[in-house]
C-alpha cells in the first residue's frame, strides 16, 4: 500500500497542480516512480495507491507507465484508491486513517503481511530482503532505518533500538538523538518504509481510529505500538547494488528538491540511475533525442554536469550543473547554472538563471535575469533557502 495523497504544501508551487508523488523529478521521472520501481524490482506486483489530492496527472502517469508492465491475468495491478466516503464520510484524516478507511481491501486479500510505503521518497531498495527479515524476526512491524551521523538526525524521526534490533523508542526530531548499539556516532532514522503483520496493522489502525490523534503512523500509531511492547524491529537500509553510501531522501521542501537534483548530476551520484540491475521505470513520451547545437551567429553551446532528456534543445546556450526535463529549450547566449527546468520550459536568448527551478511550460523572455537578486525575485516568484521557483502559468515580459 503506497501512500500517495500528500498535498506537499512545503513544495508549493510545484504541487499546485499535482500531488507530491506526481511532481517531476530527475528530468524524466515522477517521484512515485522510485517507490513503484522498487516494488516491481522486489517482486511486489499487487499495489494499492492511496490518493487524495490532485491525482489526475499522477493517475495518468501511473497508467501510462505501469499498465503495460503488469499482468491482469496474473492478478498484478496498481489500483488507485481515493477516499471512498463509504465506511467513513470524510477525506483521509492522516496516513493511518487512509489505511483504516480501506480495511476492506485487506479483508478481501487477507495477505500475511502488508508493505506500507510513501510515494514521495527518492531511493532504491529491495523490499524482499526486508520482508524476509520481518518474517525471520517474527515481528508485528519492521521499520526500515537509515544510519546517519547523529547530528544529521535532529530534524528527522529517530528510532532507538537494542542490540537485537528491537525497537525500544521512537522519537520525533530529538535534540539529542540516541546512538546505535555499538555505533554511538550514528543514529537510526525512520525512512517511512514499513512491513506490517496484517493483523497487527489492522489492530493498530482500528485502535487509532478510536483515539483523538492526528491519525499518523509516525506521530501516533508507531509510538503507541512501541509503548505497548509489541515486537517491532528495525531493518537497516542497504543499497541493492551494495554502495557503502545508500541514498534515501524524503523530498519534502523546495531546498531538498533542488539539492536532490544537484546530487543526481554529481560525476558519480549516490543515487545511480544507470544501474541496469535496478531500473527506475517511467513513461517515456515519443520525443526526439536531446540536441546541443550552435545558436544564432554560430554561438557555440556549452553543456557540462547536466542531465538532458528527450526533446531538449540547447542552441548556443551555456548550461552548467542543471537538469533539463523533456522538451526544455535554452536559446543562444543564455546562461543556466544550477537550475532545474521542467517540461517545455524555454529560456530565451541572453537570459541568465542561477539556482532556479522553472515549472512546466514557462517561457523566460530574452535577456531576463532570475536568481541574481533575491529581493527582486521575491516580488514575483517563490524564494526559499536561496532557491527561486518560477511557478507554471507565470507570464513574463
Partner 1 sequence: MGQPTILVIEDDDNQRLLYEEDLKWMGYNVVAVKNGHDGLQALQNETVHVVLLDIAMPGMDGIEALGKILDHDNQLPVILNTAYSSYKDDFMTWAAEAYVIKSHNLSELHQAIAAVLEKRGIAVPEPPAEEGC
Q: Which one of 69-77, 97-105, 173-181, 299-307 is the stretch in contact with partner 1 (CB under 8 A)?
A: 97-105
User: Which of 61, 201, 44, 223 lies closest to 126 in space, CA to CA?
Assistant: 44
Segment near partner 1 (CB under 8 A); pick from 85-93, 172-180, 291-299, 375-383? 85-93
Nearer to partner 1, 9 or 107 (CB): 107
- 230 three-class SS: coil
CA distance 267 to 9: 32
Kindly tell me which residue out of 206, 227, 228, 304 binds partner 1, with binding defined by CB under 8 A.
206
Q: How far apart are CA 346 and CA 313, in angstroms?
A: 9
CB closer to partner 1, 84 vs 385? 84
**What mask of x and - would describe binding to partner 1 in positions 100 to 129, judged by CB under 8 A?**
xx-xx-xx----------------------
Percentages of the chain per state (helix, strand, coil), in multiples of 5: 25, 30, 45
Q: Any contact of residue 7 with partner 1 (CB under 8 A)?
A: no
- The label of the residue with cell 493511518 reads 96
Q: Which is nearer to partner 1, 36 or 221 (CB)?
A: 221
Cβ closest to partner 1, residue 100 vs residue 237? 100
Cα distances from 210 to residues 36, 91, 114, 317, 319, in angstroms, run 32, 17, 22, 60, 55
Please identify which residue in 16, 63, 87, 185 interacts with partner 1, judged by CB under 8 A: 87
Place of cell 538563471: 353
Q: What is the dihedral of CA 38, 39, 43, 46, to 10 degrees?
A: -170
Region of 116-124, 174-182, 202-210, 235-243 interacting with partner 1 (CB under 8 A): 202-210
Site for partner 1 (CB under 8 A): which residue of 212, 245, 276, 379?
212
Applying CB under 8 A, which residues contact partner 1?
86-90, 100-101, 103-104, 106-107, 202-203, 206, 209-212
Amino acid at each position: 500500500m503506497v501512500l500517495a495523497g500528500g498535498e506537499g504544501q512545503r513544495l508549493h508551487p510545484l504541487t499546485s497542480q499535482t500531488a507530491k508523488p506526481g511532481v517531476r523529478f530527475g528530468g524524466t521521472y515522477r517521484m512515485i516512480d522510485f517507490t513503484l520501481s522498487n516494488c516491481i524490482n522486489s517482486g511486489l506486483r499487487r499495489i494499492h495507491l492511496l490518493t487524495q489530492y490532485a491525482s489526475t496527472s499522477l493517475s495518468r502517469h501511473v497508467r501510462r507507465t505501469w499498465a503495460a508492465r503488469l499482468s491482469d491475468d496474473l492478478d498484478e495491478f496498481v489500483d488507485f484508491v481515493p477516499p471512498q466516503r463509504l465506511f467513513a464520510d470524510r477525506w483521509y484524516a492522516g496516513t493511518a486513517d487512509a489505511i483504516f478507511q480501506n480495511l476492506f481491501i485487506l479483508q478481501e486479500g487477507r495477505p500475511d503481511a502488508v508493505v506500507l510505503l510513501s510515494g514521495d521518497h527518492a531511493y532504491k531498495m529491495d523490499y524482499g530482503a526486508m520482508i524476509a527479515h520481518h518474517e525471520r524476526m517474527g515481528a508485528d512491524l519492521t521499520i526500515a532505518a537509515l544510519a546517519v551521523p547523529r547530528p544529521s538526525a535532529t530534524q528527522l524521526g529517530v528510532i532507538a533500538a537494542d542490540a537485537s534490533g528491537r525497537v525500544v523508542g521512537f522519537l520525533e526530531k530529538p535534540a539529542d538523538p540516541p546512538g546505535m548499539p555499538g555505533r554511538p556516532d550514528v543514529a537510526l532514522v525512520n525512512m517511512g518504509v514499513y512491513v506490517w503483520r496484517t493483523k497487527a496493522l489492522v489492530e493498530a489502525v482500528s485502535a487509532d481510529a478510536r483515539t483523538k490523534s492526528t491519525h499518523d503512523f509516525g506521530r501516533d500509531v508507531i509510538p503507541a505500538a512501541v509503548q505497548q511492547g509489541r515486537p517491532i524491529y528495525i531493518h537497516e537500509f542497504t543499497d541493492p547494488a551494495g554502495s557503502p553510501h545508500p541514498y534515501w531522501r524524503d523530498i519534502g521542501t523546495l531546498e531538498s528538491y533542488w539539492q536532490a537534483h544537484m546530487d543526481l548530476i554529481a560525476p558519480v551520484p549516490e543515487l545511480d540511475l544507470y544501474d541496469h540491475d535496478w531500473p527506475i521505470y517511467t513513461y517515456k513520451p515519443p520525443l526526439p533525442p536531446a540536441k546541443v547545437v550552435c545558436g544564432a551567429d554560430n554561438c557555440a553551446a556549452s553543456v557540462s554536469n547536466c542531465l538532458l532528456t528527450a526533446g531538449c534543445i540547447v542552441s548556443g546556450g551555456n548550461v552548467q550543473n542543471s537538469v533539463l526535463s523533456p522538451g526544455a529549450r535554452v536559446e543562444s547566449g543564455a546562461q543556466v547554472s544550477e537550475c532545474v527546468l521542467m517540461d517545455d520550459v524555454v529560456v530565451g536568448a541572453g537570459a541568465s538563471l542561477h539556482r532556479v527551478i522553472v515549472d512546466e511550460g514557462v517561457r523566460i523572455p530574452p535577456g531576463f535575469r532570475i536568481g541574481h537578486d533575491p529581493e527582486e525575485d521575491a516580488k514575483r516568484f517563490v524564494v526559499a533557502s536561496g532557491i527561486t521557483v518560477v511557478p507554471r502559468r507565470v507570464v513574463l515580459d
